[in-house]
Amino acid sequence: MSEDTNDRKLLYTALELIEDSLAGGYRLGRRLPAFAEFDPDALSEASDRPAAAFADSSFVAPVDLPDNDSLAAIAAEAARCRKCRLASGRSRAVSGEGAERPLVLVIGEGPGAEEDRTGRPFVGPAGQLLDKMLAAIGLSRSANTYIANIVKCRPPMNRDPAPDEQAACMAYLDRQIALLRPRAILAAGRIPAQALLSTKEGIGKLRGKLWDYRGVPLVASYHPSALLRNEELKRPAWEDLKLLKTALPDA
């Protein structure tokens, strides 16, 4: 390949990345990679350490729930909430969706363009990939998984939610956790991992370990959109899923 052709390829790749970022990231319009590594048969390789480690732990609800609280009440409050500046740019607040007695609570960062438009969490290519990853360890949002975000309203241009925005919104997530009482939490990406673990460490340092969030096993891993950008992250993400699986009953 000539140097000129190579330079042009690099330029096109850079322009594609910029375009994706401006258009809402890889939540929009990207081809899904083949995820052959997410093979349910490979689960036998997983360690059996974590389930035993958490056998005696007891759940500590992050908040005292208001009387008669419910997921529907939280969704309704978020829909009219104006506690932070993200309210002004949203089309819809995205509270969450899934099974009301979940094995796993997946926590992402915040809605993207598609989520803002549809009112549903993790839709578009990243959401499809998440569904595929969950299915590989026997999970689905219709049967045994709930999906929520740190902030319920879309940050403009898909920027990271600011610390004050995260803090303003956290009460909703705390109530969701107290109602759902999941058996394990998957923090999908750096922002939820840092928020839940109260740290500034990068996701590379936080992943691959089993954490304790108020008595609930927590695994942090890469956001599916990062896997769409970089296929080399698929292998460590699969290791994280296997670790999550071992924290579940009958792993």
- If the CB atoms of residues 86 and 219 are measured against ligand SF4, the closer one turns out to be 86
The pair phi, psi for residue 158, each rounded to 5°, is 55, 30
Could you give the CA distance from residue 152 to residue 175 in angstroms, rounded to a whole number? 13
Could you give the CA distance from residue 220 to residue 211 in angstroms, rounded to a whole number? 8
Q: Which residues pair with 237 in a beta bridge?
A: none
Could you give the CA distance from residue 185 to residue 107 in angstroms, rounded to a whole number? 7
- Residues comprising the chain, all counted: 251
Q: How far is the CB of 103 from ligand SF4 (least distance, A)?
A: 26
- If the CB atoms of residues 86 and 106 are measured against ligand SF4, the closer one turns out to be 86
- If the CB atoms of residues 32 and 170 are measured against ligand SF4, the closer one turns out to be 170
Q: How far is the CB of 71 from ligand SF4 (least distance, A)?
A: 14
CA 116, 220, 77: angle at the middle one, nearest 5?
Answer: 35
Q: Tokens for 73, please give them.
A: 């009440």
Q: How far is the CB of 12 from ligand SF4 (least distance, A)?
A: 36
- If the CB atoms of residues 9 and 82 are measured against ligand SF4, the closer one turns out to be 82
Q: How far is the CB of 167 from ligand SF4 (least distance, A)?
A: 9
- If the CB atoms of residues 147 and 241 are measured against ligand SF4, the closer one turns out to be 147
Using only the alpha carbons of the chain, give its radius of gyration: 18
H/E element, 114: helix 113-118
Q: How far is the CB of 78 from ligand SF4 (least distance, A)?
A: 4
- If the CB atoms of residues 82 and 101 are measured against ligand SF4, the closer one turns out to be 82
Q: How far is the CB of 149 from ligand SF4 (least distance, A)?
A: 9
Residues forming the site for ligand SF4 (CB under 6 A):
78, 81-84, 86-87, 93, 151-153, 165, 168-169
- If the CB atoms of residues 111 and 127 are measured against ligand SF4, the closer one turns out to be 111
Task: Report the sign of the C-alpha dihedral through residues 108, 122, 33, 138, in that order.
Answer: positive
In the β-sheet with 145-149, what is the strand arrangement from edge to edge? 96-98, 145-149, 104-108, 184-188, 216-221, 210-213
Q: How far is the CB of 20 from ligand SF4 (least distance, A)?
A: 24
The pair phi, psi for residue 9, each rounded to 5°, is -60, -45
Widest Cα–Cα separation across the chain? 69
